[in-house]
Amino acid sequence: MINHLMPDHPNANCNGCVLESRLIMEHELGRYLGPLEVVHHIDRDVSNNNPENLRLFECNGKHSTFHLNEKRYAKYVTSV
């Protein structure tokens, strides 16, 4: 995870940092992200902040449900 020091950002953490993935998603959307919104890395590589690799979930619950369903589906997919 890549952090940027931005103490004046409305969603900066207690150290004044914001995750790069959140900054990129904000730029793509043209707005600040809400505090509950979660940026997901499609390829699971948290250092790959290419906008095409990012997906936004409205809350952590929906993000967690996505991963649970992903794991359930994987049981039924067989490798060739």
Helix H, strand E, coil C: the string for 36-76 is CCEEEECCCCCCCCCHHHEEEECCHHHHHHHHHHHHHHHCC
Instruction: Give how many domains the chain has, as a whole number.
Output: 1
> Does residue 80 lie within any of the structural domains?
no
76 has pLDDT over 70: no
How many residues in total does the chain contain?
80
How many other CB atoms sit within 10 Å of the CB of residue 79? Answer: 3
What pLDDT is stored for residue 2 in this prediction?
Answer: 93
75 has pLDDT over 80: no
What pLDDT is stored for residue 79 in this prediction?
Answer: 52
Q: Which domain holds residue 29?
A: 3-74
For 8-58, the pLDDT digits (tens) are: 999 999 999 999 999 999 999 999 999 999 999 999 999 999 999 999 999
pTM of the model: 0.82
